[in-house]
Amino acid sequence: MQPQMTSTTTLNDDARLAAMFATPHGTLHLDSAAHGPRLRGVQAAAEATLAESIAPWRIGMQAWNDAIERVRSLAACFFEGDAFDGDGDGVALVPSAGYALSLAARNLQLGAGDKVLVLAGQFPSNLLPWQQRCAETGASLVEVRRAPGQDWTGAVLAALEADPAIRVLALPQAHWHDGALLDLDRISAQARACDAALVLDLSQSLGALPADVSRWQPQFAVAVGHKWLLGSYGLAYLWVAPHWREHGRPLEQNWFAREHDAAMASPLQPPAYRPGARRFDAGGIAHAQKLAMAAVALAQLQAWGVAGLSQALGTRTAAFDAVLREYGLEDWITPGHAPHLLGLRPPPERIDTAAQALAAAGAVFTRRHGLLRIAPHLQVTVAQMRVLAERVVAAAQKHP
């Protein structure tokens, strides 16, 4: 397995930060909400591990296990606020958010008349499992929508107060459409007061915003590794509350989640699960390339520190916002958006013009639901974001 590589480049050195990424020249990758940019160190780890794989017999079981536990421990740090000594026992390695949230839905008790709260337009990974679970149990979904002038937090709190049948809140920290934030401190406190379980999909925030499961006390929380955690597809991280580490039921049965020696002995009775959230580890997680990429990415994010990284990403979106406000286009900006993710919402008659201006500047972004999603990482400089916004403004002025 390759050694970990991190850089201590300061978060105010835009040029050196940009050079740490392998983004093709001339491209402004503004779609980290779909797939994070590739760090050069992560690319190097992937290539080195691929080269090693021509002789897999040289990698012993202990090396595989050490690589898994290294990633598990690193990932745990990001769920736990500023406590960078993550409780590895609390994290399982799984292939996707959909897998993790299906697991959560299977374990939480629901019955006829119970309700699961979701946001309007919620990402399918945190919607489909609840639709299926409701169909199986006779429970139903409550879809929360915002009233004019209302934020998501207010909408969720109002729904929770109005309906005592809500037993589960399945929520993100930032909406995937436009980065609109939810105040999970307030929501989690009210959920506990109502004896409702909190399940979090942090795929659009973990690694870019501080998280603190000790305060929020969710039953399950998941984040994919390929977005703001800068790793690869096919590896996600599931944080599990202490109760479920002892009593939870996995989605699948595989030998890797069991005590290894006992499982290999082929007993008639199933051997004990490995401790903590490891009982939920999915088959196939011992993928050397994905683990190596994840270890480098997570170590680099940890070296930067999430609080500082969030602030640095915020300078980029703030620079973009400032130009639009200067020219009177503040209505195009998502109010209260996350520092790392915004939705640009031009009037319908101007969205094509704005999208063309972004594309002409080499920007890669997502257009969906009547908005343009802008999600830069550190490979895009503050100056580039300002120039990009000026091009959007110029196009809007040319085609009013």
Tens digits of residue pLDDT in 170-180: 999 999 999 99
Asked if residue 80 is part of any domain, the answer here is: yes
* Apex 8 CA angle, 91 and 29, nearest 5: 75
Distance of CA 383 to the CA centre of its chain: 26
The total domain count for the chain is: 1
61-79 and 288-304 helices cross at what angle (nearest 10)? 40
Tell me if 151 is assigned to some domain.
Answer: yes
In-domain check, residue 362: no
State the pTM of this model: 0.94
Residue numbers of the chain with a pLDDT score lower than 50: 1-3
- Residue of 332, 335, 336 whose CA lies nearest to 389: 332
In the three-class reduction of DSSP (H, G, I as helix; E, B as strand; rest coil), residue 168 is classed as strand
What local confidence, expressed as pLDDT, does residue 3 receive? 43
Which pLDDT belongs to residue 258? 84
Q: Are 284 and 260 in contact (CB under 8 A)?
A: no
Read off the pLDDT of residues 303-360 as tens digits, 9 standing for 90 and up.
999 999 999 999 999 999 999 999 999 999 999 999 999 999 999 999 999 999 999 9
Give the whole-angstrom CA distance, residue 277 versus residue 107: 13
And the tokens for 53? 């794989």
Task: Indicate whether 337 belongs to any domain.
Answer: no
Residue 99 within a domain: yes
Residue 262 has a pLDDT of 63
Is position 112 within any domain? Answer: yes
Nearest to 121 by CA among 176, 160, 48: 176
Tracing tokens 């998501």 back to the chain, one arrives at 152
Residue 245: other Cβ atoms inside 10 A? 18
Q: What is the CATH number of the domain that holds 233?
A: 3.40.640.10
Q: What is the pLDDT of residue 344?
A: 96
Q: How many residues does the chain have?
A: 400
Among residues 248, 224, 220, the alpha carbon closest in space to that of 236 is found at 224
Domain contains 365: no
Apex CA 266: angle with CA 273 and CA 71, to 5°?
40
Residue 114 structural domain: 62-304
Nearest to 93 by CA among 268, 295, 242: 295
Within-domain flag for 330: no
